[in-house]
Amino acid sequence: MSVQTLRLDGESLTLEDLAPLAAGQTLLLQVPDEVFARLQDSRRMVEECLASGEAVYGISTGFGKLKNQAIGPEDLEELQRNLVLSHSVGVGAPLSDAEVRIAQVLRLNSLLRGVSGIRPELAHELIELFHAGFVPEVPGQGSVGASGDLAPLSHMVAAYMGFGYARVWGERMPAAQALETADLPPMKLQAKEGLALINGTEVMKAIAVCNVLRARNLSKAADAITALTLEARFGSVAPFQERLAELKANAGQSRTAQNVRACLQGSQVLESHRDCDRVQDPYSLRCVPQIHGAFKAALAHVEELLRAELNAVTDNPIVDPKTDSVYSAGLFHGQPLAVTQDYLALSLCTLANVSERRIEQLVNPDLSGLPGFLTPQPGLHSGLMIAQYTAAALASENKAYAHPASVDTIPTSANQEDHVSMGMTAVRKARTILDHTERILGIELVCAGQAREFHKELQAGKGAQAAHTVLRTLVPPLEEDRYLHPDLEAGRALVANGELVRAVEGQVGPLLA
């Protein structure tokens, strides 16, 4: 299989460009010669500052509270080395390889804007490390999202220098050994370069990219699973009419309704419901266009802001050849990411909550009209009774994680950094809620699939049937009680890895996120 090429110029990176990395694939990076040439002007300004003896933050001074401490020319390389090592204080479980690979690309892309003062040679080194499959081990905790992701990015750069641990094509080893395996020398940083590599929001941004891509898939999966639940629960398609979306004037509602209608096309089950005496479905079915639509609207807003961030400069100081000025500003502050990822987390909770309520509609015989807890022999067998407990536990836990990180701040660096974003906390919390929501929707898929077994004589809609069929490749019908953990794991996997959405789209065409 041919490897895709990703062109980087600091200005045109997209979410779609990064999707292969999020999926665990590899890419070849290509940087035009004129982009490398752009770096020379900014680097020349750094060299001129050094030659003049002028005190410029981060170039010839200490950092943070130590900004007034002048550093002699003979110590500038050691200053950069010490900066990286002293800031490598992350703790906790490491980030995934996909998240680190995306962070590597994002940091390089930002540096290629040509206002960070690095040498073109350093950009070449970063590309060589990426192509060698060199993935630093980066602990997930320790960033307050103020001067960027100082601790996580420092671990990344420390590995380039031969400290800590790294993976080379998936094999974990000490970073020094990994460099030898990749046949690359330890990185040596010159003036300003250590600061340029660690002063950025690219780690929280990388996790945000993965979160948004996963949320896109989840948005489609939720609609497809809802269609199967409607089939299983003999729900009404009436609330999903396009006219109602027009009256509401909400684009997210319209996309949800369109997805569900597509999945229900050709359904005999819903046709059989036409003359029944049920006046209204419960809100967890009837209000899906509004509830899922609100999630879609939130996701669209989060995605719009993230797209802008992908090509943003997040360094400090900014060495700008265009204005011939060095700016000590705050472009590394993570508040834009923190706020939007909190928004994503909150909207994901709603998606999880309504899925858990649909699970209850399926398993509760007083609500469903189906055998209790979807087992053919209620009483002797408990069926999927406790699967709803698991969904309830996860939905409840989400609420604890939904407290916004972006409203918090603890001053750092002796009050020099007196307001921080907690952006890394925001993206990690959103990631956890994504994990839980994928599991809850996986449970709904398993329950809806089992409920369909009780009226399989009626043909389901094309999309709903595709969801049921792909489920049955991993989860057989529940005839009697069995060890259910693998069933729920299989449901989660079908949702999380996109296989469910691909199967449905194979029958009904592209779904709308």
> For residue 53, what pLDDT is reported?
79
Contact 216, 137 (CB under 8 A): no
**In the predicted model, what is the mean pLDDT of residues 238-258?**
93
Q: What are the residue ranges of helices labelled H in 112-241?
A: 120-131, 150-160, 175-181, 193-198, 202-232
Beta bridge partners of 180: none
Q: In percent, how much of the chain has pLDDT > 90?
A: 84
What residue has token string 């709904």? 444
Among 478, 471, 491, residue whose Cα is nearest residue 374: 478
Quote the pLDDT of residue 62.
62
How do residues 283-338 score in pLDDT, each as one tens digit? 999 999 999 999 999 999 999 999 999 999 999 899 999 999 988 888 889 999 99
Between CA 26 and CA 23 the distance in angstroms is 9
Q: Which residues does residue 70 pair with via DSSP β-bridges, in sequence order?
A: 61
* Mean pLDDT, all residues of the chain: 94
- Residue 128 is encoded by which pair of tokens? 């060589």
155 confidence band (pLDDT: 50, 70, 90): very high
Compute the C-alpha angle 213/253/441, nearest 5°: 50
Active site residue 57: yes
Arithmetic mean of pLDDT, 459-471: 97
Confidence of residue 147 (pLDDT cuts 50, 70, 90): confident
Domains contained in the chain, CATH given = 4-200 (1.10.275.10), 215-508 (1.20.200.10)
Residues 314, 303: Cα–Cα separation, whole Å: 18
Tell me if 260 sits within 8 A of 227, measured CB to CB: yes
Q: pLDDT digit string (tens) for 54-93?
A: 777 767 776 665 656 777 777 888 989 999 999 999 999 9
Instruction: Taking residues 356-385, report their average pLDDT.
Output: 96
Tokens of 143: 């960033």
Share of the chain above pLDDT 70, in %: 97
Q: Give the pLDDT of residue 68.
A: 63
Structure confidence at residue 438 as a pLDDT band (50, 70, 90): very high
**Residue 494 confidence (pLDDT) above 90:** yes
When mean pLDDT is compared across 140-144, 207-211, 269-273, 430-434, the lowest value belongs to 269-273
HEC per residue, 396-429 = HHHHHHCCCHHHCCCCECCCCECCCCCHHHHHHH
pLDDT of 339 over the 60 cut = yes
- Give one DSSP letter per residue of 189-225, joined into a string: --TTHHHHHHSSSHHHHHHHHHHHHHHHHHHHHHHHH
Q: 57, 165, 389, 483: which one is catalytic?
A: 57
Q: What is the mean pLDDT of residues 144-160?
A: 95
Please give the structure tokens belonging to residue 12: 């045109």
State residue 153 phi and psi, 5-degree precision. Answer: -65, -30
